[in-house]
Amino acid sequence: MTYPHIKALILDWAGTTVDFGSLAPVCALQSVFAANGVPVTAAEVREHMGLLKKDQIRAICAGERVKDAWTARYGRAPAEADVELMFGEFLPRQAAILADFSQPIPGVPETIEAWKSAGLRIGSTTGYTHDLMNVVMPAAARLGYAPDTCVTPDEVGAGRPKPFMCYRNAIMLGVYPLWCCVKIGDTPVDVAEGLNAGMWTIAITGTGNEIGVSLADWQALSAEERCRRESEARQRLVAAGAHFTASSLTACGELLEEIERRIAAGEKP
């Protein structure tokens, strides 16, 4: 299959191409909040996954339960200074474990190589900073996954849902128009990023944040339970505006063919 009309794919990292279940950010952020005397649940972390991590910390702090727990602990609601402090603590904690969570999701390296061979350019965006991606990218590359470009929020002045990382990828890849590009990610803000950039969007269910379990735990579930959880994840991602959903990046082939047909027929996202 060739794609004469699709110019590029812009892929997320954790939960989409590496780190099955998007586990690394949850681990690090829970550690930071616990160290500051206000433990948070995985669900509270995952609710805001995909944002620039400082924005994610800010959003977690704004939650009613966390705000109340912080007030009970410190006698006041969390302030911007607390966000800055925890973000500073987060960075080294995340960097220390990232290499262990940079394993490509099964089938991703082979799928990416096939798409590259078909002429597609592969860009990427993330909620991690440039320094954190300097840990992730070499580790993932050693294991077979290396996109053509990677853009981080601190390189463009803002993270998702703003579309600036997508714009920067397009510039670096030399591709246009953006309605001939496809954004693939596993969170509602991934979808929003793609939509705001004017791209087609595919949301990933099974391997990503919306289900949020390790590969081993996922494989241990019954087929019925996997189906149930994917159905719930699909509903949330479609509600966020995704044009299509797939269980994993490796299951996107037919969707890309459909997008190729639609673009050829004159459709835009």
pLDDT for 235 equals: 98
Spatial separation of the C-alpha atoms in residues 241 and 179, rounded to whole Å = 15
Q: Which two tokens stand for residue 142?
A: 């050693």
For the domain 8-23+103-264, what is the CATH code?
Answer: 3.40.50.1000
Q: Where are the domains of the chain?
A: 8-23+103-264, 24-100
Spatial separation of the C-alpha atoms in residues 12 and 184, rounded to whole Å = 6
pLDDT for 8 equals: 98
Spatial separation of the C-alpha atoms in residues 20 and 22, rounded to whole Å = 6
pTM: 0.93
Task: Please report, in tens digits, the pLDDT of each residue of the chain (269 residues total).
Answer: 889 999 999 999 999 999 999 999 999 999 999 999 999 999 999 999 999 899 999 999 999 999 999 999 999 999 999 999 999 999 999 999 999 999 999 999 999 999 999 999 999 999 999 999 999 999 999 999 999 999 999 999 999 999 999 999 999 999 999 999 999 999 999 999 999 999 999 999 999 999 999 999 999 999 999 999 999 999 999 999 999 999 999 999 999 999 999 999 999 99
Q: By the 8 A CB rule, do 161 and 181 touch?
A: no
Please give the positions annotated as active site.
12, 53
pLDDT for 1 equals: 80
Assigned fold of 24-100: DNA polymerase; domain 1 (1.10.150)
As a three-state string, the secondary structure of the chain is CCCCCCCEEEECCECCCECCCCCHHHHHHHHHHHHCCCCCCHHHHHCCCCCCHHHHHHHHHHCHHHHHHHHHHHCCCCCHHHHHHHHHHHHHHHHHHHHHHCCECCCHHHHHHHHHHCCCEEEEECCCCHHHHHHHHHHHHHCCCCCCCCECHHHHCCCCCCCHHHHHHHHHHCCCCHHHEEEEECCHHHHHHHHHCCCEEEEECCCCCCCCCCHHHHHHCCHHHHHHHHHHHHHHHHHCCCCEEECCHHHCHHHHHHHHHHHHCCCCC
